Homo-oligomer: A and B are copies of this chain.
């Protein structure tokens, strides 16, 4: 359990439920979270969830929608990635994902919920993949494709995309373990920035080497 985020409590029950549910779902995942915990945290009655959202899954879907829609988690598009050099775009992407994931506000919900879906898909899994993961995956592949001089759908591009995602998700989701294995890493903002820089440096080198290796190995039938 972690301290509550310092966000003013909304006055109507529906909003309070979403706020509480976002926090608890992102901490514990869909299945492990209980409606009673959520309602206690929201100062609401147990029946409130069924009244306002039909059932637990309805609340979950709404939280996912809010965490990526309203607060513009999908502003990856608005980042104008295409207008920037690919390397810089990747740095922004990584830093953006990591800061959001390790923050305490609504923007942190989406990547944490996603990481729980990775480990244990819920009933809303197909929807989460379609609406949240897939577009972000595509943005990342776009940037990596430019770095590699390859199609976004290329196998090499995809491998690199998963290497980047894997690192970000790991630092975001494995905090309990990291806290034990590496006690001095407290995930303060400067430390998060350091991690983001590390992932970007590490990945950019990996990406460039991967591009070169492939070209070397295929030297002859090179495709772009």
Residues of A within 8 A of B (CB): 28-29, 31-32, 115-121, 125-126, 129, 133-134, 137, 155, 158-160, 162-163, 165-171, 173-174, 176-178, 180-182, 184-185, 195, 198-199, 201-210, 213, 224
Using CB atoms, name the residue of chain B closest to A195.
B159
B213 touches A209 (CB 8 A): no
CB contact under 8 A between A129 and B167, given known A202-B160, A209-B202, A210-B201: no
Q: What residues of B have a CB within 8 angstroms of the CB of A162 in the complex?
A: 167, 170-171, 174, 178
User: Whole-angstrom distance between the alpha carbons of A178 and B117 in the complex?
Assistant: 12
User: Whole-angstrom distance between the alpha carbons of A119 and B36 in the complex?
Assistant: 22
Q: What residues of B have a CB within 8 angstroms of the CB of A119 in the complex?
A: 29, 115-116, 118-120, 173
User: Whole-angstrom distance between the alpha carbons of A165 and B174 in the complex?
Assistant: 11
User: Whole-angstrom distance between the alpha carbons of A195 and B208 in the complex?
Assistant: 17
User: Whole-angstrom distance between the alpha carbons of A101 and B118 in the complex?
Assistant: 15
